[in-house]
Amino acid sequence: MIGLTLPEIAALYEQRGGEQYSGEPVTQLEHALQTALLAEQEGADDALVTAALLHDLGHLLNDQGESPTLRGVDDLHQYAALPFLRALFADDVLAPIRLHVDAKRYLCATRDGYFEALSADSKRSLVLQGGIYTPEEAKEFIAQPHAGDAVRLRLWDDLAKVENAVTPSLAHFVVSIEAAQRPESVFVESPST
Ligand SMILES: [Fe+2]
Ligand SMILES: [Fe+2]
Q: What's the 191 CA to ligand 1 centre distance in angstroms?
A: 34
Q: Which long-range contacts (CB under 8 A, 24 or more apart) does 129-132 make?
A: 129/74, 129/101, 129/102, 129/104, 129/105, 130/102, 130/105, 131/105, 132/105, 132/108
Tens of pLDDT, residues 78-123 = 999 999 999 999 999 999 999 999 999 999 999 999 999 998 888 9
Longest dimension (CA), the chain: 54
Instruction: Tell me the CA–centroid distance for residue 101 and ligand 1, in Å.
Output: 6
What are the tens digits of pLDDT across the range 136-156?
999 999 999 999 999 999 999
Q: Residue 193's pLDDT is what?
A: 46
Q: How far is the CA of 182 from the centre of ligand 2 (A)?
A: 24
Determine the residue type at 9: I
CA 159 to chain centre: 13
- Say which residues have a Cβ less than 8 Å from residue 57's Cβ, sequence separation at least 6: 9, 12, 32, 80, 81, 84, 85, 97
> Does the predicted TM-score (pTM) go above 0.75?
yes
